[in-house]
Amino acid sequence: MFKRMDEILIEIPEVNKPDPNAAAAVQELLGGKFGEMSTLNNYLYQSFNFRSKKKLKPFYDLVMSITAEELGHVELVSHAINSCLRGSTSYKEPDKTPLGSIKDMRLSYHFLAGAQGAMPFDSMGNPWTGANVFNSGNLVEDLLHNFFLECGARTHKMKVYETTDHPAAREVVGFLLVRGGVHVVAYAKALEIATGVDVTKLIPIPSLNNKAFKEAAKYEEKGVHTKLYTWSENDFTAIDQIWKGTHPEDGLPLEVLKGTPEGFPIPEAPAVEEEFAPGISAEDFKEITKRLKMSGNIKD
């Protein structure tokens, strides 16, 4: 089961820089074939269907714990998209075409299907599909797939980073490059333990180091690339049988931390009246408050 907190993994800079086309590019990292929804669901279903988990506990714990982190990545990249979309339009009366500017945007779903929020689609508006999940049930094959998936995800992040300099997108993509890099190393080490082959010699794929990306380098300076979390108070501690030794790129010691990292407040999303969202007027709000008070949920 899962526990949820009203927090996200990093602080997203609050900038007033609407860039709907940047939001469209970042969608690839959410609902694309190599996006966070794919990493999440691959590990989610591999964890549900894992066989001989008692015998293979370190591998099971690895897939279980990384699944939880991926859910946090889905959340984080969604907020990056929302941040790029924020302020794309402004309120005018319907006859004054308040959404007129979105006609030429790459993704109209953000505006026509939703109210300027992230959607489980790729950068071209194709919905994410369960066909992106690979789960053969063969441990080595699944780990090999996960290693490939994380390398592919890394390439996509590098390209999206090169596509936009929007501060919110850069911040999130830089952080996810580092955390995705951790998962690349984790699956490489798991494969080494399962097969005896030193897969870490292939790293990094592509060969460019994360430190070449300013917004990723600052997280590596803090050692974010050396830490793997259990994402649980008491479970999944056997990941320390895989996440040990040193980082293959810079030789820093690897560390397993129990629980979750420190979280940050989720940004507030203002009303977008021209999109009828949330569609609650000042009058409505007063009425709602009155009803809540009457039912005893709010006290003066």
Q: Site residues (CB under 5 A) for Mn ion?
A: 39, 70, 73
Helix (H) or strand (E) holding 199: none
In terms of CB distance, is 25 or 172 closer to Mn ion?
Answer: 172
What sign does the dihedral 299-272-113-22 (CA atoms) show? Answer: negative
Stretch (H or E) spanning 257? strand 255-257
Tell me how far, at minimum, the Cβ of 186 lies from Mn ion, in Å. Answer: 11
**Do residues 78 and 118 lie in contact, with contact meaning Cβ atoms separated by under 8 Å?**
yes
Residues 6 or more apart in contact with residue 84 via CB below 8 angstroms: 17, 18, 19, 20, 22, 23, 26, 164, 166, 168, 169
Q: Using an 8 Å Cβ cutoff, are 44 and 67 in contact?
A: yes
Min dist. Cβ of residue 176 to Mn ion (A): 6
Q: Is the four-CA dihedral 21, 263, 114, 120 of positive or negative sign?
A: positive
Query: Please, which residue, 39 or 89, has the CB nearer to Mn ion?
Result: 39
Which residue reads 């959340």 in tokens? 75
Closer to Mn ion by CB, 186 or 254: give it.
186
| Consecutive H or E run containing 256 | strand 255-257
How near is the Cβ of 73 to Mn ion at its closest, in Å?
A: 4
Beta carbon nearer to Mn ion, 70 or 274: 70
Between 43 and 111, name the residue whose CB sits nearer to Mn ion: 43
Least distance in Å: CB of 66 to Mn ion? 8
In this complex, which beta carbon is closest to Mn ion, that of residue 38 or of residue 88?
38
Least distance in angstroms from the C-beta of 32 to Mn ion:
12
Compute the least distance from the CB of residue 101 to Mn ion, in Å.
32
